[in-house]
Amino acid sequence: MMNYEELMQLAGKVAFITGGASGIGLATAKLLGEAKVRVVLLDINEEQGLKAVKEITESGSEATFFWCDVTSNDDCKNAVKRAEDMFGRLDILFNNAGVIRRKNVVDHLEEEWDLVLNVSLKGVFLLSKYAIPLMAKNGGGSIINTGSGWGLKGGDGAASYCAAKAGVVNLTKAMAIDHGTDNIRVNCICPGDTDTPLLRDEARQLHLEETSFLHSSGVNRPLGRIGTPNDIAKGVMFLASEMSSWVTGTVLTVDGGGLA
Q: Could you give the percent of the chain with pLDDT greater than 70? A: 99
Residues 144 and 212 in one domain: no
Q: What is the pTM of this model?
A: 0.96
> Nearest Cα to 140, choosing from 181, 176, 184, 172?
184
**Range of 215's domain?**
194-226
- Between 4 and 120, residue with greater pLDDT: 120
> Nearest Cα to 187, choosing from 201, 205, 173?
173
The pLDDT score that the predictor gives to residue 3 is 75
Residues 137 and 151 in one domain: yes
Residues 82 and 176 in one domain: yes
72's CB contacts (< 8 A; 6+ apart) are 126
What value does the CA radius of gyration of the chain take, rounded to a whole number of Å? 17
Considering only 68-72, 93-97, 198-202, which range has the smallest mean pLDDT? 198-202
Q: Catalytic residues, which ones?
A: 161
The stretch 220-237 carries a mean pLDDT of 97
Q: Is the dihedral of CA 52, 125, 188, 37 positive or negative?
A: negative
- For the chain, the domain total comes to 2
Residues 198 and 181 in one domain: no
How far is C-alpha 10 from the chain's CA centre?
A: 18
